[in-house]
């Protein structure tokens, strides 16, 4: 009998360091819809230095907010963490802009900052402490019809559309 091959499970949480955990929790709640996950409250309040687990999807995927300290300096998440949204949430987010969220350049994030990746749409953003995030939506045609065309949005592109067409037609 052969041993069952190990397979990694789903992404549980991402460690995010912030200078003030309470201030960060408020920002994530107000701007991105995150809420503390009560069942992990002990980690946040039962001992010093533990994370505040926050989630926007009922605890399936979380951010673990750690407060920077002398032994754990502020190091921003520079490579980014990507979250997937359904079309309704993605379009609602787009239409709420600008709303106090910055792009990686530091400028207010606007609807025209949307990126067309040919297979999905995305927004790149940063929290007030420089942690980078990407919001993706894979309901490509629906977003194209209900947001891009309906609102006259001009998305950014990182490569020419022909490059994707040529790849698909190989």
- Whether the link from the prior residue into 98 is cis, omega within 30° of 0, is yes
Q: What is the pLDDT of residues 6-32, one digit of tens each?
A: 788 888 999 999 999 999 999 999 999
Terminal C-alpha separation, the chain: 43
pLDDT attached to residue 2: 78
90: CB partners within 8 A, 6+ apart: 121, 135, 137, 139, 143, 147
pLDDT attached to residue 80: 86
Tokens read off for 108: 């207010």
Percent of the chain with pLDDT over 90: 79
Rounded distance, CA 27 to CA 44, Å? 17
Q: What is the pLDDT of residues 70-121, one digit of tens each?
A: 888 888 888 889 999 999 999 999 999 999 999 999 999 999 999 999 999 9
pLDDT attached to residue 110: 98
User: Over 80: is that where the pLDDT of 1 sits?
Assistant: no
All structural domains of the chain = 10-73 (3.10.180.10), 76-170 (no CATH)
């Amino acid at each position: 009998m052969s041993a069952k091959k190990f397979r990694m499970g789903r992404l549980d949480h991402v460690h995010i360091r912030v200078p003030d955990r309470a201030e960060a929790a408020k920002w994530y709640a107000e701007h991105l819809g995150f809420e503390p996950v009560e069942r992990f409250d002990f980690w946040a309040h039962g001992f010093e230095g533990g994370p505040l687990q926050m989630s926007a999807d009922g605890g399936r995927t979380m951010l673990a907010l750690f407060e920077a300290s002398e032994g754990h300096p502020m190091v921003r998440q520079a490579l980014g963490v990507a979250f997937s949204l359904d079309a309704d949430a993605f379009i609602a987010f787009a239409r709420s802009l600008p709303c106090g969220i910055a792009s990686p350049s530091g400028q207010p994030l606007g609807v025209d900052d949307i990126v067309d990746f040919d297979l999905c749409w995305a927004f790149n953003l940063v929290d007030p402490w420089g942690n980078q995030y990407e919001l993706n939506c894979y309901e490509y045609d629906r977003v194209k019809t209900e947001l891009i065309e309906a609102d006259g949005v001009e998305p950014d592109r990182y490569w020419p559309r022909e490059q994707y067409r040529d790849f698909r037609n190989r």
